[in-house]
Amino acid sequence: MSRKKITENVKKRLYADSMGRCMNPDCQEKLFINDRDIVEKAHIIPYCETEDNSYENLIILCPNCHTRFDKGSSYNIEKVKSWKRIREEELDNLFSKKFKNFDELKSKVKPLLIDNKTIYEKYYLGDKKNLWDKFEGRILVNNRMLKKILEQNLNLIQRNSIEFYSNLEYVNTFIMHIDEFEATRPDDEKEREVLFPKEINSIFGIAPVDDDMLPSTESLELLIIKLNEEGKFESISMGDEDSYILLKEDGELSKLYLNDTPRLRQLYFEYHCFRSTKVRLTSLNFAYKFMKSRGVNFEFDNFNNLREVTVCGIKMIFVYEYCLNKVDLMNLSPEENSVVINLHNWNGESCISSEANELSKKMNVTLLTMEDYYIYVHKLKQRK
């Protein structure tokens, strides 16, 4: 009679338990080495006696420990059973630490996510099924560690009562994905109930997602101030298809895209940057994009204030008011010869009050609706 196969869900639990190392606490040989593995599934009570392929009767060992156990010269059954309990305690001790901040959490989570991403793209998407079957075990090991780490540090993840705006919701979905991935995995990926949320790689700065920009320009300005204080801010590029902040971390430059919303939202949470919206970032970026599309260059006067730029020696100030009135203009207090543009364009000419227009003449300031702005930029282009 042929030997019964060990079920996939049992294999997955064993791989995850192992943490990628031989479960003999006195050995702990690494089981996944480059493009090969030395994983061996050992029966605690011999298969020939019980035909028991249950999770409880199996343990992951390296070839040497497996051989010594089978020969019965070094380890007894009770001792080997205790190894599973010891490994579980090790897992709890190693990966149940509470971190002080998100950067500490990220330093532990990011390498594991990168390893998973590399294996998935190289073997699964690369259609190397034989190697995927081998290295899926390493993903299971990484996932078990990730789950432990994340569950202990959920307080460091941005959250919102509205699920769509909550990074915590993505993390909880990821934990559900880990549980499902470990329990069972149908051959057809599309049959999976809980897929890996790509936003996880965004949150931890691995791969950006293309999402809607967060609305508040003021939040972004405050983040720039905080990043600058830590020496992480290099510059910002706006008016592009993919506008971004250029960051310097650990001596390396990287781009933080303004539409990489989960990551940006996490940074706002970490640095306490959430502010109410006065100037909508999408509208401001569109205005800068229009200038660039017409070959008109602009420079920020101060990176802490993204609403003011200099164009051809002229100071431009962008506001977002349903109706820019006299009081708004007085509070803005623009310098002479400035141009003030109201990005709010839902009510045409009515978005600037007649009183504000009168005051602007006395202040020697130009007020523009968005329609006027398009014409003004066109004239600037002709002057170049």
**How many domains is the chain partitioned into structurally?**
4
- Are both 17 and 90 inside the same structural domain? yes
- Give the alpha-carbon dihedral of 327, 332, 333, 336, to 10 degrees: -120
Q: What are the C-alpha distances in Å from 222 to residues 109, 154, 182, 331? A: 26, 24, 41, 21
User: What per-residue confidence (pLDDT) applies to 149?
Assistant: 94
How does pLDDT run along the chain (384 residues), one tens digit per residue?
Answer: 577 888 887 888 888 888 888 999 999 888 887 767 788 899 988 888 888 999 899 999 999 988 888 776 677 888 888 998 888 888 777 777 899 999 999 999 999 999 999 988 888 877 776 777 777 888 888 998 999 999 999 999 999 999 889 999 999 999 999 998 887 654 445 456 778 999 999 999 999 999 999 999 999 999 999 999 999 999 999 999 899 999 998 889 999 999 999 999 999 999 999 999 999 999 999 999 999 999 999 999 899 999 999 999 999 999 999 999 999 999 999 999 999 999 998 877 899 999 999 999 999 999 999 999 999 999 998 876
User: What per-residue confidence (pLDDT) applies to 384?
Assistant: 61
Q: What are the C-alpha distances in Å from 141 to residues 15, 110, 204? A: 6, 15, 19
Residue 275 belongs to some domain of the structure = no
User: What per-residue confidence (pLDDT) applies to 243?
Assistant: 97
Round to whole Å and give the CA distance between 227 and 231: 6
Residue identified by tokens 């599973």 is 84
- Are both 80 and 125 inside the same structural domain? no
- Are both 65 and 128 inside the same structural domain? no
17, 60 in Cβ contact below 8 A?
A: yes
Phi-psi region of 242 (alpha: psi -120 to 50; beta: other; left: phi over 0): beta
DSSP 8-state class, residue 5: P
Round to whole Å and give the CA distance between 184 and 192: 9
Round to whole Å and give the CA distance between 137 and 159: 31
Residue 276 belongs to some domain of the structure = no
Q: How many CA atoms lie within 13 A of 361 on its CB side?
A: 5
Domain end: 203, 233, 248, which one?
203
Q: What are the C-alpha distances in Å from 115 to residues 110, 247, 360? A: 9, 23, 59
User: What per-residue confidence (pLDDT) applies to 190?
Assistant: 44
Task: Write 242-249 long-range contacts (CB < 8 A, 24+).
Answer: 243/285
> HEC states along 318-377?
EECCCCECHHHHHHHCCCCCCEEEECCCCCHHHHECHHHHHHHHHHCCEEECHHHHHHHH
- Are both 33 and 81 inside the same structural domain? yes
**Total-model pTM:** 0.82
Radius of gyration for the chain, computed over Cα atoms and rounded to the nearest angstrom: 29
* Two tokens, residue 259: 């539409």
Non-local CB neighbours of 168 within 8 Å, separated by 6+ positions: 154, 157, 158, 159, 160
12, 183 in Cβ contact below 8 A?
A: yes
- Are both 108 and 198 inside the same structural domain? yes
Domain span at 40: 8-95
- Are both 195 and 109 inside the same structural domain? yes
Q: Where are the alpha helices (DSSP H) in the chain?
A: 8-18, 47-50, 63-71, 77-95, 102-119, 129-151, 167-183, 199-203, 217-229, 261-270, 281-293, 326-332, 354-363, 370-383
Domain end: 95, 130, 154, which one?
95
Q: Which of 370, 323, 328, 364 has the alpha carbon at shortest distance from 345? A: 370
Indicate if the alpha-carbon torsion angle 184, 190, 178, 206 is positive or negative: positive
Domain end: 95, 130, 163, which one?
95
User: What per-residue confidence (pLDDT) applies to 188?
Assistant: 47
Round to whole Å and give the CA distance between 74 and 88: 22
